[in-house]
Amino acid sequence: MQRLETMHVIPDTLPTLDPVVDVRLRFPHGPHVRWLTPGSIVSTAVSAHEPEFAIRSFDAGKRSYTIAIVDPDVPDVDSNSYTTALHYLLTDVVLDCTEEAVDKAAARVLVPYVPPVPEKNTGNHRLAVWVFEQRGPALPADLDPAEFDLRSLVKTFRLRPVGAHLWRNKYDSKTDEVRAAHNLGPGRVFSRLRY
């Protein structure tokens, strides 16, 4: 919670969180095969690989969860502000307090993992991993990542935020290679205007 609040993931992505699950993540390649400390800076070469999750519930009983990864630090030139990009959306993850490994094969992938590739000179990007308990209608398979709004999704489908995690990326020497390998198009270079 401290990292989520001091790095302003709360309230930049969602207003609050009352955690009832422990969320851990790691990347299966590179130096970050161990579970990440929330807020760790990860190279784009490492985060080019889809992360693995472990979710430990503090409550008894089977529950269904949705996992979303969002980047709230995408520059929006038109509004001179930032927008949030969706990098992953997995739903119907069924777990209870005796198991914690997320079996992605048994869940529904609504938006496949898109590696974060921050633009040059945009600083650290926060990649927030939100875990929601599903309490409402099923999420539709035709969600458009370009029209994604996390707060609206939570409200419309009555998702209850129950846990979160966070890592950070910034433009580095491997970012352009990751862009090319995943067909993410050319990046932009941001700079400050001098008056």
Per residue, what are the HEC states of 83-116?
A: EEEEEEEEEEEEECCCCCECCHHHCEEEECCCCC
* Closest-CA residue to 86 (of 149, 169, 173, 156): 149
* Closest-CA residue to 52 (of 70, 67, 72): 67
pLDDT by residue (tens digit) across 131-152? 999 998 889 988 888 888 999 9
What element of type H or E holds 22?
strand 21-26
Bond preceding residue 11 cis, omega within 30 of 0: yes
- Note the pLDDT of residue 195: 45
Residue 164 CB-density burial (10 A; 0-12 exposed, 13-18 middle, 19+ buried): buried
Could you give the domains of the chain? Answer: 2-181 (3.90.280.10)
| Residue 177 to residue 92: CA distance in whole angstroms | 33
User: What whole-number percentage of the chain has pLDDT above 70?
Assistant: 94
- Note the pLDDT of residue 168: 96
* Closest-CA residue to 4 (of 148, 168, 170): 168
| Residue 192 to residue 26: CA distance in whole angstroms | 35
Report, in angstroms and rounded to the nearest whole number, the Rg of the chain calculated over CA atoms.
17
pLDDT by residue (tens digit) across 38-71? 999 999 999 999 999 999 988 888 899 999 999 9
> Are the C-beta atoms of residues 68 and 109 closer than 8 Å to each other?
no
What are the two backbone dihedrals, phi and then psi, of residue 3, each rounded to the nearest 5 degrees? -65, -40
Query: What percent of the chain is helix, strand and coil (3-state, nearest 5)?
Result: 15, 35, 45
pLDDT by residue (tens digit) across 167-189? 999 999 999 999 999 988 777 66
